[in-house]
Amino acid sequence: MTKDKRTYDVLIDVWNKAEPYFKFLLSRVVKSLPATRDPWRVAPDDKKQKVHVLAGSRESEIAVFPNAIAMGSPASGGMAEGGKLALIAAVPTLALLAASLMALSYGMIFLFIFGIIIFVFVSMTIVWAIKSWLCSPFDWPVIFNRKSRTITWVPVIRFPYWKFWVTKLTPQWRTASWDDVRARSYKYMQSTTGGYGFHDSYSLFLLWGGAEGDPRSLDQAVSIGYQGYFEDELLWMLYEHIRRYMEEDGPAIPHGETLRPLGKGRPIVYPLDVIEACGGPPLSMQEVEKIAAAAPMD
């Protein structure tokens, strides 16, 4: 799919100016959005209109239900990256502890106290990052239900930094209308792994209004898929797959594609009411592969 010459054929122009519909209230800050409020591209309000010549899951689809499909979140990749960096940081942190104890043996009390304070804070950060990687759900699903025309998702939550003994999160599931959602991509600067430089990144967001009873006041925002590096064209390929599934009775997974590989972390536990609304539990990998094999090619 990615080798197709049409991969970057997005059918919506770059917007890169003020948000055309939503208002941002100081009393209702949506923390999940990037710092910029100006969308890079804006999906048409008419969901019958195509946004890309191709449709693809971009390794973002994590489950197929009888009546729905589930996409993953970029948050899972960020947590994994943070956890791996924390493991690397553990070695110099232990070296810091050894140096602090050596300072104590030489009577350098101030250096010992300073080193221990730094060691405690760094150790807590390492524990928090590794716990977020291994104890959080391995993904944060966003479910598109074709039968009920709704979107159900779990807002990303983090472990409390200071409560190092907490090892389990309690996700709060939310549901909103597919007909009311508006899609945007955002461009922002992001540091490279290790902080050696910066590059352009892109994220695809679904937005809903309704804050304080005003449909144009932004109330909810959820990111789907992954972070695009230096481009957002492939993110819109993902949205096109979702749009076709919801609006055109498109396949649950595109031809020849597979579900996103499972990462570290705890398995996703779908609530009973969510499973019932989706027509039953997720299909097996073999069933998904059959759907992908039978799906028409673009």
- 210 - beta bridge partners? none
As given in the structure block, the two tokens for residue 65 are: 């239900």
Residue 162 maps to a domain: yes
Q: Is the same domain home to 105 and 219?
A: no
Q: Is the same domain home to 178 and 47?
A: yes
Q: Is the same domain home to 116 and 155?
A: no
| pLDDT of 39 strictly over 60 | yes
- 3-state DSSP assignment of residue 130: helix
Residues 6+ apart with CB under 8 A from 186: 33, 34, 36, 38, 39, 40, 202, 203, 205
Q: Is the same domain home to 176 and 239?
A: yes
Q: How far is CA 64 from CA 95, 96, 124, 138, 203, in A?
A: 47, 48, 38, 16, 23
- Measured CA to CA, the distance from residue 56 to residue 16 in angstroms comes to 24
CB 154 within 8 A of CB 171: yes
Q: Which domain holds residue 276?
A: 41-73+142-294
Specify the number of domains making up the chain: 2
- Measured CA to CA, the distance from residue 53 to residue 121 in angstroms comes to 50
Residue 253 maps to a domain: yes
Alpha helical stretches, state H, 135-271? 233-247
Residue 237 maps to a domain: yes
Predicted confidence at residue 105, as pLDDT, reads: 85
Q: Is the same domain home to 92 and 211?
A: no
Q: Choose one of 134, 150, 165: the last residue of a domain.
A: 134
Q: Choose one of 88, 112, 134: the last residue of a domain.
A: 134
Residue 110 maps to a domain: yes
Q: Is the same domain home to 168 and 232?
A: yes
- AA letter at 256: G
Predicted confidence at residue 2, as pLDDT, reads: 47
Residue 28 maps to a domain: no
- AA letter at 249: D
Residue 164 maps to a domain: yes
Closest to 225 measured CA to CA, from 284, 121, 103, 139: 139
DSSP secondary structure code for residue 215 in this structure: T
Q: Is the same domain home to 168 and 286?
A: yes
The pLDDT tens digits for 119-160 are 888 887 877 777 766 777 778 899 999 999 999 998 887 777
Q: Compute the average pLDDT of residues 87-106.
A: 79
Q: Is the same domain home to 195 and 180?
A: yes
Closest to 70 measured CA to CA, from 245, 248, 264, 273: 245
The pLDDT tens digits for 231-287 are 999 999 999 999 999 999 999 999 999 999 876 667 788 999 999 999 999 999 999
Closest to 34 measured CA to CA, from 232, 226, 187: 187
- 3-state DSSP assignment of residue 205: strand
Q: Choose one of 117, 134, 151: the last residue of a domain.
A: 134
Q: Is the same domain home to 160 and 217?
A: yes
| pLDDT of 1 strictly over 50 | no
Predicted confidence at residue 101, as pLDDT, reads: 84
Q: Is the same domain home to 174 and 248?
A: yes
Q: Is the same domain home to 169 and 190?
A: yes
Q: Is the same domain home to 124 and 92?
A: yes
- Measured CA to CA, the distance from residue 48 to residue 69 in angstroms comes to 19
**Percentage of the chain with pLDDT > 90?**
55
The structure's pTM equals 0.83
Q: Compute the average pLDDT of residues 41-68.
A: 97
Residue 12 maps to a domain: no
216-231: b or e for each residue (b if 16 or more CB lie within 10 Å)? ebbbbbbbbbbbbeeb
Predicted confidence at residue 103, as pLDDT, reads: 83
CB 81 within 8 A of CB 265: no
Residue 5 maps to a domain: no
